[in-house]
Amino acid sequence: MRHASLAFGLILFLIILPGIFTKALADNMMAIPELISHAEDYDRQMVVVTGRVSDLQIATNREGQLAYGFLLKEANTALKVIVLGRPEVRDGDQVIVEGVFSRHRQIGRTTIYNEIKATIVRPMERVNPDLVG
């Protein structure tokens, strides 16, 4: 009986969690042009943005973990997104991205501007349409 109660609780949690999660994303979403024009205010902060995936590239990081990156585009502006794991998006997909924004970071002699190290990348068709814009 105890196992049945735990299983029911877990199933209920998994049903409710996506709705709460999606509502939190929708409440905190900002436009890419806004983020870039106020980059110093959002440097090293958690952000949520939406845009279209472009130039998707799959790679392996230094630790041997699968990773991917892409440009996230909106209204003639773009920023770089990097993510650990296997991509669940394709070029052209409209997505929501949550992660830590960096105005710039240095890698050797290279400086990378306007980048999000994403914790979540979710295609828009997997988001409850009642909660987005």
Closest CA to 100 of 26, 24, 39, 21: 39
User: Residue 9 — very low, low, confident or very high, per pLDDT cuts 50/70/90?
Assistant: very low
Using DSSP bridges, classify how beta strands 29-30 and 46-60 pair: parallel, antiparallel or unpaired: parallel
Tens digit of pLDDT for each residue in 90-131?
999 999 999 999 999 888 899 889 999 999 999 988 665 555
Going along the chain from its start, the domains and CATH numbers come out as 30-124 (2.40.50.140)
Q: What is the structure's pLDDT at 111?
A: 87
